[in-house]
Amino acid sequence: MRIEAVDLFYLAMPAITTEADGSQDALLVRVAAGGHVAWGECEASPLVSIAAFVCPMSHGVCRPVGASVLGETLDGPADIARIAARVEYDSMDLLQAPHMFSGVEMALWDLLGKARGEPVWRLLGYDASHKKVPYASMLFGDTPVDTLRHARDARANGFGAAKFGWGPIGRGDARADAEHFVAAREGLGPDAVLLVDVGQIWGEDVEAAAARLPALEAAQATWLEEPFHSSALESYQALSRRSTKVRMAGGEGAHNFSMARHLIDYGGVGFIQIDTGRIGGIGPAKRVADYAVARGVTFVNHTFTSHLALSASLQPFAGLQDHRICEFPFAPKSLSLDITRNHLQRDANGEIAAPDAPGLGIDVDPQGLREYLVDVDIRVGGKLLYATPASL
Amino acid sequence: MRIEAVDLFYLAMPAITTEADGSQDALLVRVAAGGHVAWGECEASPLVSIAAFVCPMSHGVCRPVGASVLGETLDGPADIARIAARVEYDSMDLLQAPHMFSGVEMALWDLLGKARGEPVWRLLGYDASHKKVPYASMLFGDTPVDTLRHARDARANGFGAAKFGWGPIGRGDARADAEHFVAAREGLGPDAVLLVDVGQIWGEDVEAAAARLPALEAAQATWLEEPFHSSALESYQALSRRSTKVRMAGGEGAHNFSMARHLIDYGGVGFIQIDTGRIGGIGPAKRVADYAVARGVTFVNHTFTSHLALSASLQPFAGLQDHRICEFPFAPKSLSLDITRNHLQRDANGEIAAPDAPGLGIDVDPQGLREYLVDVDIRVGGKLLYATPASL
């Protein structure tokens, strides 16, 4: 097959707020080849990623992502790897390239799966798609009472695991944070899995993070996620060594395999969290999953957007029976739900799995998206480089 | 002072080729505050970087770079650090942000220096701007005979050091590459410093790189630059351990302090090469210089563009007397030279130094730039987010 067309669609909620909620906009990627149409999604700034696809070449290794994709042959997984390697080399000086290419790569797997009538996880070499325990991913409340209510909501909705993130944590003192941890545990009850995500709030400051460890231990948190900048490996390592019960989690900022590997090898994380919409797609995420297995680290998806992104993010570890926890967007914006006709429904045990249907197994709903579509046009030197495609 | 305006200018040669020559286009940044006008330059895709400055917010930590800069107070170096920290946090999910912000940060230093009547290196805490030995930075020829001629040109032009990069190296076998190394040494003569840059050609492949070590040693190359992807720390380390005489150099791909630190600590490089147009500006580059001193590693600038970028890239190590070598664009495109009215001239010994004049000490020449100016406009949701400023 020949990659005939790659179309990009910028979708957004009518109003975007400053909350740390990545489901407020999306960049969908539609790829056409061999009579098939497939979809992917970038977890990245839509406008900047569009620019990275269409920008004029700056020099030999600062070329637009589109130049490495359009017209290429796609007949098997090796072609996806070849195209990815070409993007990595020819766009090495284009920083946004991995975020942009992630959505394309995802669509290439979807397309290949559809063409072969196979789910992507099988193309990756797995024999089965094992059930995962989804955790409700939500933000901390503004007050401990709000956090308590959020935790009870998660429990009432049948989640046996919940992750609380961002919000007030790290903005006041350790005691104020501890009240939120206590409230979260109280709302979830004693048996549920409690996960805490602080969104890089402490930069490189190990002491600030360490001051929260006793309260996290007391609340029996399974992990502390992103205490530091994603590249502050020394801080990760220092905190990992000081924490006996709570393990560190991180990796959503990884935009290539090596960054995830370094969080494992040098940062000492116990959980490596990969967003297939950022790391370059499903291929590099699978490579991280293999590496995590070899190093005794648990692979977890990072997903805060649509069920298209959710399916893509489950594929890299679908076949790993012991890597049980998965992120599940608990209360995304309507845009994020409306992107797809079908959704990954939790079964009677509250569990989900990567679909058995061909490709990513998710139907994108063009009709449902019209109202969110953002008109963009980019002109350079009098030439129209990008305009929102007329047909969705 | 209040940052009143930040204007971005996309400049390009009439034709852009696939050679690895970063001087073919440029993104200039003009900042106005307190009656002063100052300049910086991004070493990055101009269109994608413009998009990163003006894009709509996606969520709380995926905000446009402009939102962290416009209207901010600038009264001292601490303000630059504060603005940089804000960009780092509020744009943590905007991958292009460091490349974009680098040019702004450079201009903030230039502005502060102009306002105080001090060169930037003094604002960084240095007492003197020491002379550096510039190496002529050029590409390998297509054939060894071409490489020989380039080397003789450099020598005839009074350079006591030269770096050859990219071109055919790594695309054929080790023997073919060895002929280029021999030719470069022959053209330079026995006393000149020979540096070799291979532009990440071997990805992660240590054996392919190691196969070139004997010929590099025989040619008495001082360093081997970028044998691998900028994040392939394990490959850097493995090669560093196998090379007794030729030291590894790298770092131009670092887009934050940590990446440079990891090349030193985990990669074992002997020379850390920083582009202030990519790493986030002069502040993080100075932090790398301090770290390099502490670890016994030599700091070197990476500069392949204008003399504005060259001055900015010299500031972080201007006061380090023992860090002698500096990159000097030998044959940049006319655009790159026409950006500035003055240039860093080599003295009778062939040496250069960061200027003593206030700020970066470089006069940008708006008149000279008109012919290179690229018209851009970006519309999102019917709103014009960016148009090339009318006044240059």
Nearest residue in B to A52, CA atom: B48
Look at residue A9 and tell me if it is in a domain: yes
Residues A210, A177: one domain?
yes
Residues B230, B320: one domain?
yes
Residues B154, B77: one domain?
no
* pLDDT score for B137: 85
Q: Are B74 and B19 contacting, i.e. CB atoms less than 8 angstroms apart?
A: no
Residues B108, B196: one domain?
no
For an interface test with B, which of A19, A27, A59, A198 has the most B Cβ atoms less than 10 Å from its Cβ? Answer: A59
Residues 6+ apart with CB under 8 A from A172: none
Residues 6+ apart with CB under 8 A from B208: B170, B202
Tens-place pLDDT, residues A136-172: 988 899 999 999 999 999 999 999 999 998 889 999 9
Which secondary-structure segment (H or E) carries A292?
A: helix A282-295
| Cβ within 8 Å, pair A374-B381 | yes
**Mean confidence (pLDDT) of chain A:** 96
Look at residue A49 and tell me if it is in a domain: yes
Q: Are A33 and B43 contacting, i.e. CB atoms less than 8 angstroms apart?
A: no
| Cβ within 8 Å, pair B56-A88 | no
Residues A14, A111: one domain?
yes
Look at residue A353 and tell me if it is in a domain: no
Q: Count H helices, E strands: chain A?
A: 15, 13
Cα of B249 vs its chain's centroid, Å: 14
**CATH number (domain holding residue A179):** 3.20.20.120
* pLDDT score for A138: 86
* pLDDT score for A330: 82
Q: Which residues of B touch A25 (CB under 8 A)?
A: 56, 58-59
Q: Count H helices, E strands: chain B?
A: 15, 13
Length of chain A: 392
d(CA B347, CA B134): 11
Residue type, B137: S
Name beta bridge partners: B6. Answer: B31
Q: Are B190 and B219 contacting, i.e. CB atoms less than 8 angstroms apart?
A: no
Look at residue A359 and tell me if it is in a domain: no
% of chain A residues with pLDDT over 70 = 100
- How far is the alpha carbon of B391 from chain A, nearest alpha carbon, in Å? 17
Which secondary-structure segment (H or E) carries B155?
A: helix B144-156
Q: What angle do CA A59, B303, B14 make, to 5 degrees?
A: 35
- How far is the alpha carbon of A310 from chain B, nearest alpha carbon, in Å? 18
Look at residue B168 and tell me if it is in a domain: yes
Tens-place pLDDT, residues A255-294: 999 999 999 999 999 999 999 999 999 999 999 999 999 9
Residues A255, A383: one domain?
no
Look at residue A356 and tell me if it is in a domain: no
For an interface test with A, which of B49, B91, B94, B96 has the most A Cβ atoms less than 10 Å from its Cβ? Answer: B96
d(CA A140, CA A212): 15
| Cβ within 8 Å, pair A59-B266 | no
d(CA A352, CA A374): 32
Name beta bridge partners: B301. Answer: B274
| Cβ within 8 Å, pair A232-B258 | yes
Look at residue A27 and tell me if it is in a domain: yes
- How far is the alpha carbon of B355 from chain A, nearest alpha carbon, in Å? 28
- Tens digits of pLDDT across chain B (392 residues): 999 999 999 999 999 999 889 999 999 999 999 999 999 999 999 999 999 999 999 999 999 999 999 999 999 999 999 999 999 999 999 999 999 999 999 999 999 999 999 999 999 999 999 999 999 988 899 999 999 999 999 999 999 999 998 889 999 999 999 999 999 999 999 999 999 999 999 999 999 999 999 999 999 999 999 999 999 999 999 999 999 899 999 999 999 999 999 999 999 999 999 999 999 999 999 999 999 999 999 999 999 999 999 999 999 999 999 999 999 988 899 999 999 999 999 999 999 999 999 999 999 999 889 999 999 999 999 999 999 998 88
Residues B127, B62: one domain?
no
Backbone φ and ψ of B131, nearest 5°: -65, 145
* pLDDT score for A161: 95
**CATH number (domain holding residue A70):** 3.30.390.10
* pLDDT score for A243: 96
Residues B231, B269: one domain?
yes
Nearest to B303 by CA among B358, B269, B344, B257: B344
Residues B370, B227: one domain?
no
Nearest to A288 by CA among A325, A262, A249: A262
Torsion, CA A216, CA A220, CA A222, CA A226, rounded to 10: -10
Residues A184, A105: one domain?
no
d(CA A186, CA A149): 10
How many domains does the structure of chain A reveal?
2
Predicted ipTM? 0.96
* pLDDT score for B20: 84
Look at residue A355 and tell me if it is in a domain: no
* pLDDT score for B205: 96
User: Which domain range does residue B103 map to?
Assistant: 3-119+365-387
Residues B111, B128: one domain?
no
The CB density around residue B218, as the number of other CB atoms within 10 Å, is: 13
Nearest to B388 by CA among B369, A379, B38, B377: B377
Length of chain B: 392
Q: Which of B24, B278, B382 sits opposite A58 (nearest CB)?
A: B24
Residues B35, B154: one domain?
no
d(CA A321, CA A356): 16
Residue type, A209: A
Residue type, A390: A
Nearest to A375 by CA among B56, B383, B55, B380: B380
Residue type, A326: C
Tens-place pLDDT, residues A111-146: 999 999 999 999 999 999 999 999 998 889 999 999
Position A20 confidence tier, pLDDT thresholds 50, 70, 90: confident
Nearest to B51 by CA among A105, A56, A41: A56
Backbone φ and ψ of B362, nearest 5°: -125, 130
- Residue B112 Ramachandran class (φ > 0 left, ψ -120 to 50 alpha, else beta): alpha
Backbone φ and ψ of A245, nearest 5°: -110, -40
* pLDDT score for A75: 98
